[in-house]
Structure 1
Amino acid sequence: QLKMPVESWSEYGQREQTRREHLVELQTVFGFKPFTMSHYRQAVHTLTELALQTDKGIVLASALVENLRRQSIILPAMNAIERASAEAITRANRRIYAALTDSLLSPHRQRLDELLKRKDGSKVTWL
């Protein structure tokens, strides 16, 4: 225990240098590593595989946080976690769409495109 008055806790971290010094010390003592661009790229790659199974962002974000904690990597800002999850979902969707459409012949594509066109006098399409 530090045996400091509770009132002084509100002042902790006010000085930016103190926060940086303590962060470096904690990283050294506990073996934490900072989240880098390399970790981001690896996260997107790993999450893309999971995103092939689900497009639920919360599932992907939770998996990323769990994975980073297992590796003792300091969690990035929430927007970085959200961005990695969104990028993984986009990549997975593109792979799924490609898997569904790559083998289609031109006549099949044309027939599918016709389903997206509105009929005269109508505001809806077949799809």
Structure 2
Amino acid sequence: MISFNNLCLRNNGVSFYYIGRSTSTVFNMMLSTWVLGIESSQAVYVCCLILIIGFSIGSQPASKENPLSMQGAFYGLFASISLALNAIFTKKVLPQVGNCLWKLTWYNNVVAVVLFLPLM
């Protein structure tokens, strides 16, 4: 998630970064249905449609000096998907650590250090 955020910021401006991050709400709704089996109401789908329309409008390049990079846009979408999956799996796994958010955060940080050491 952090890597995709950095890659998005490297290829696009900060304004696109925040617009791209708003899609995490849409992915959270879609992936919650798929992973957790939580069904959403029709009003939620309408709100997500409004977010997607707003994302499409806001993604237009502001000027010729600051064009929108498609590669950066994909990185932003992957960052949003990663963020949504992180929230969903946190909700799914939290009961296994006694609903202790601090314990889950500790485990996540240890795993992240182990996984990122080879990359550094």
Whose relative contact order is higher, 1 or 2, with alpha carbons under 8 Å and at least 6 apart? Answer: 2
Higher helix share: 2
